[in-house]
Amino acid sequence: MSNFPQNSIGFVLLTHNKPLQIYRLINTLNRMFNYPLIVCHHDFAKCDLSVDTLSKNVLFVRPHVKTEWGAFSLVEATVQALKLMYEAADAPDWFVLLSGADYPIKTAKQILDDLTTNSYDAYIQYEQITYEIYKSDLEPNMLWLKNSYQRYCTKSLAFNFSKKYLTHLNLEICLEHPLLTKPFLPFSKKLACFSGSQWFCANSKAAKYIIDFHSHKNVLTEYYKTLKYTDESYFQTILANAPHLKLKNDRLRYIDWSSGGCHPKTLLIEDLPKLLASSAHFARKFDLNIDNNVLDELDRITS
């Protein structure tokens, strides 16, 4: 068990399935970090979860937000969990945002040393999304930047034409150039669009800024409520536009996208050397039903 104080670090969990894996993650965090504050947003509409046997340091967002993959509801769930965490008397200096499929791959000492001995306020992947990048030739592993521009920085306009003797016509036009999209988007020279991985960690200063920003009516929040995949841009845009915050462009996660598609590769025992060689603190995604040996080995290494 770690000797670090409980309020050094806390964890925000976004979960919706696989209860046994959620329990295992919570037990591992308790063992490693001496029962830290853990705030879980669990979507009980998707999967039941027995909470009565969990330790007192685990809090649940009530009522929960009904979440959908890629929807703004994931942003809302995250913010509600952060609010619950930073309203607590023992609110942590740092928080780490995790899914139920994540797992630590470094010791508690290394994780806390990395976070507390540097001057950064947040570790988050963030890349500015611009029209120039959208129109440029990119390597295959960077094509997500083009997708981000399409998602957040274009505007589709639908037109319906119908006359008595003519066939009904639906026409959709997608505006891409910033001069054309400017009236419709919240972005400007003072507010740039950023995108990156959903998973990040930050200190209490950054967390409270996110909570305060989200709680006030603003054009950015209202705009993102209308979009998909906002969990990969909303927090990045808020933090990267905050001049008083110092960010490290590193999500501190090991994620293997080599399998292609919308979801990362499920990590197996054969991936262990790559996990240990990584500078990341956590890795995703794991699945107890596919390979629990890799988690057993990580438990041994991080003890």
CATH of the domain at 93: 3.90.550.50
Residue 187 covered by a domain: no
Host domain of residue 263: 6-128+193-302
Same domain, 176 and 197: no
Residue 98 covered by a domain: yes
Same domain, 87 and 230: yes
- What SS3 state is found at 284? strand
Of the CA atoms within 13 Å of residue 89, those in its CB half-sphere come to: 1
Q: How is residue 118 written in tokens?
A: 């540097």
How many domains is the chain built from? 2
For the full predicted model, state whether its pTM sits above 0.85.
yes
- Give the pLDDT band (50/70/90) at residue 170: confident
Which phi and psi angles does 74 have, rounded to 5°? -70, -35
Same domain, 22 and 141: no
Alpha-carbon radius of gyration of the chain: 21
Residue 76 covered by a domain: yes
Same domain, 265 and 208: yes
Distance in angstroms (rounded) separating the CA atoms of residues 53 and 49: 10
- Give the pLDDT band (50/70/90) at residue 141: confident
- Give the pLDDT band (50/70/90) at residue 112: very high
Q: How is residue 293 written in tokens?
A: 């040996």
Q: Which of 118, 123, 135 is nearest to 176 (CA)?
A: 135
Lowest mean pLDDT of 64-78, 119-133, 153-167, 283-297, name the range: 153-167
Same domain, 136 and 249: no
Same domain, 214 and 293: yes
pLDDT at 98: 98
**156 bridge partner residues:** 174
Same domain, 174 and 205: no
Please, which residues have CB within 8 angstroms of residue 103's CB and are 6 or more apart in sequence? 25, 28, 282, 283, 284, 286, 295, 298
Same domain, 207 and 72: yes
Task: Pick the last residue of a domain from 141, 160, 181.
Answer: 181
- What SS3 state is found at 115? helix
Same domain, 103 and 205: yes
Same domain, 166 and 100: no
Q: How is residue 112 written in tokens?
A: 């806390």
Beta strands 201-203; 122-123: pairing state: antiparallel
Residue 186 covered by a domain: no
